[in-house]
Structure 1
């Protein structure tokens, strides 16, 4: 039998909440039931769990959870709330005798004045709690939350609109979210080694949760850069392997590699198995199904563009390159741009080859807001790979989507060749009629970004 719980979320990254809690539930072997369709614009959500311990597990691991409460009721008025709460007497009656307690009355998008906080607390007098009121260390904490509409961008008096809430929620605190402080712990500005492409702490933690990072897991980042995903996945207990086409990003300028120095700062350097320099399209892997997850933020050309080995244009007049030149200088192989749409397609193929059955590929994909369609993500899929989450971080005219793909097949596939082959625009995908072409919004993203996302035919003014 499932019981309802009130989840209170941090009012950030709304699109990431449900994928995160579902991932942590899967990691710990339990399920979550939705009694109603979740509304990501609101910080409150009622979900059903089989055990109170499951709520504690989620509160201790999910980055976006502020607190979880045993759910007693809600209403558009306090009269409705009290009726709902009386119907849950079997849940709270055991606390009536000999239980110290504390009431918290707070609001979202509003500040409740103290005099009315007292009124609200007194309105629950029918619960007849006989224990002591303990404001410092109570046996239970009861939370009452008033939800108000957003008034951002408007000027108003301090308590204007007090009492005009959309809904009021009530429950007993199970556990405060203890994972959110990790955002400060992994703050890039406090890190010993970082670069201009380092992923912000909150996003790298969310990505680690999507990858199901945990002890016994082996996780790979093929575009590791300065190692933002290495620290968070290793912190959650996973073993980490990273590679990049540019070894300077991983090493830094000191004798000890920068990623190892930063990992030592977080006490996880022993979980960084190795860091290698190679092009992901010319990788050294000789067998597949090695990793439990692949997690990465591929370069898409805003701060750094993706590269792969090869020349931009073939020059028959140039002498053939040799790894050992006449003056014995280090050989630097030529590179050429790696178009984002091709990179995304190749990344999925690489994931199918390197992931164990059931393994996850977690990566960011930038898109143009006005051009994006749901089918865009499916243009890069291949047989045996399925999208299970697609969350948007919105920046206005563009955004980036955290895409989570699961390997659904146990069939063994050969190593991908990474040939351009069929163009992205002509690939057959679900939802697009055969014979028609579909150009995903992330194709030529770099050019669109520096052109200011102007539509075709639109000129500068």
Structure 2
């Protein structure tokens, strides 16, 4: 039989909340019952009541989910204190076993308004009917009881005369009550992986909280093998490795991985976090000319592809075909040439729409069945449509989550795609696919992420000729 638990969330990256919960639950093999009403799932609100079969499941979520601040055994809630107390008294069996001799502490707090000490005391005293006879311990109590008021945002949310009355009309939403199960310990990882404290990072390094959320979306765990095809300075490697996964990374520019010094920068940073042994190897190659000769290798692919704002995406090839020199015929004696420098192959820009489509196809080839691809896709806010994601999908791959990090005129979407096919597929031929994608774009829908770099530097101004 399921029990209800009150989850208190950090008000950051709200759109990532439910996908993270479901991913972590899937790692540990249990299910979550979400609220039936959409308003109770509203990510703009800090509280959510979830159904779980075991208290241990609540503890697992609190220890792994980055966005959880704390989890409480749910006792009651109401749109007024009278309603709260009536529901709490009806659930006497949940809390009565603690009343006789359990030391306790009472916590009263509020969201979107401030409670004075006298108001907090008044709220605590309204629970006197519970007859808790144990000792009040502020430092190390056996249990902590929490009362949480929620108001809509306003400069003030004053009480009406008399305790338990309605707040300013239309401002008070609800009050919740429960017993603390566990504080969210995973949030401390945000400080641990802070980029500013890292021994090696670059201007494209992903911030710690986001890279941890990405690692949870991959369902990183011991025994899993993962791959970052645009590894850069390795931000996604460290967090996934922290959760026990083994990582392989590659990039077209080896300088990003190596940095300066005899010891590669990524390995130095991995050693800082104690996960250097989980970084299997780092290779320099273009993903469209990759060395992988068999598929179904990886449990997950996690990456933040370059999209041209701080660093542009590149692939092997020339922007323009080179005109052969007249004296460079077959009879040229290359032994007389003085240039003995190593050959550096030319590169050309990699359009984001092509990159995203290619990445999904590469993932279908490299992932094991049920493996996940997790990556960021930047989009223009005013132009984005749900069908944009369909333009990068292919048979055998299914969208799991699409979470927006909103920056105003643009945003980046954390896309989670799962491989559903169990039939082995051949490696994609990227040059042929590029031609097909260009033809389809000319004839059909143009997604909001196409030519994102140009739109970004133009300030997302619409082409007046189109209107």
* CA positional deviation for 1:326: 4.7
Q: Residue 440 of structure 1 corresponds to which residue in structure 2?
A: 447
Structure 1 CA distance, aligned partners of 2:48 and 2:344?
A: 54
Q: Residue 7 of structure 1 corresponds to which residue in structure 2?
A: 7
Change (3 A) 1:97 1:161: closer
Change (3 A) 1:425 1:144: farther
- Unpaired runs of 5+ residues, structure 2, are 161-166
Q: Quick check: 1:424–1:439 contact (8 Å CA) kept in 2?
A: no
Q: Residue 98 of structure 1 corresponds to which residue in structure 2?
A: 101
1:364 is the counterpart of 2:367: no
1:209 to 216, 233, 251: 216
Q: Residue 435 of structure 2: SS of its match in structure 1?
A: coil
The TM-score normalised by the length of structure 2 is 0.93
Structure 2 CA distance, aligned partners of 1:309 and 1:423?
A: 18
Q: Residue 29 of structure 1 corresponds to which residue in structure 2?
A: 29
Where do 1:108-123 residues align within 5 Å? 108-123=111-126
Structure 2 CA distance, aligned partners of 1:296 and 1:166?
A: 40
* CA positional deviation for 1:426: 2.0
* CA positional deviation for 1:135: 1.0
Q: Which moved more, 1:22-31 or 1:311-320?
A: 311-320
CA RMSD of aligned residues (A): 2.0
1:44 is the counterpart of 2:63: no
2:414 to 375, 392, 402: 402
Greater Rg, structure 1 or structure 2?
Answer: 2
1:352 is the counterpart of 2:364: yes
1:124 is the counterpart of 2:127: yes
Q: Residue 181 of structure 1: SS of its match in structure 2?
A: helix
* CA positional deviation for 1:166: 1.6
Structure 1 CA distance, aligned partners of 2:443 and 2:22?
A: 36
* Count of residue pairs the alignment pairs up: 447
Q: Residue 69 of structure 1 corresponds to which residue in structure 2?
A: 72
Q: Residue 432 of structure 1 corresponds to which residue in structure 2?
A: none
Q: Which moved more, 1:67-76 or 1:164-173?
A: 164-173
Q: Residue 431 of structure 1 corresponds to which residue in structure 2?
A: none
* CA positional deviation for 1:35: 2.9
Relative to its length, the structure with more helix (as a share) is 2
1:334 is the counterpart of 2:334: no
Q: Residue 33 of structure 1: SS of its match in structure 2?
A: coil
Q: Residue 297 of structure 1 corresponds to which residue in structure 2?
A: 304
Q: Residue 85 of structure 2 corresponds to which residue in structure 1?
A: 82
Structure 2 CA distance, aligned partners of 1:74 and 1:265?
A: 45
Structure 2 CA distance, aligned partners of 1:355 and 1:185?
A: 30
Deviations 1:142-183 (A, max 9, x none): 1001112123xx5x6xx7568543211111111000000100
Structure 2 CA distance, aligned partners of 1:236 and 1:276?
A: 23
Structure 1 CA distance, aligned partners of 2:68 and 2:91?
A: 24
Q: Residue 285 of structure 1: SS of its match in structure 2?
A: coil
1:199 to 206, 210, 223: 206
2:401 to 384, 389, 392: 389
Deviations 1:294-350 (A, max 9, x none): 000000000001000000011233569x99975210211000000000000000000
Structure 2 CA distance, aligned partners of 1:34 and 1:245?
A: 42
Q: Residue 436 of structure 2: SS of its match in structure 1?
A: coil
Structure 1 CA distance, aligned partners of 2:153 and 2:261?
A: 49
* CA positional deviation for 1:425: 6.8
- Unpaired runs of 5+ residues, structure 1, are 428-434
Q: Residue 110 of structure 2: SS of its match in structure 1?
A: strand
* CA positional deviation for 1:268: 0.6
The TM-score normalised by the length of structure 1 is 0.94
Structure 1 CA distance, aligned partners of 2:119 and 2:338?
A: 84
Where do 1:211-230 residues align within 5 Å? 211-230=218-237
Q: Which moved more, 1:390-399 or 1:136-145?
A: 136-145
Change (3 A) 1:386 1:424: farther
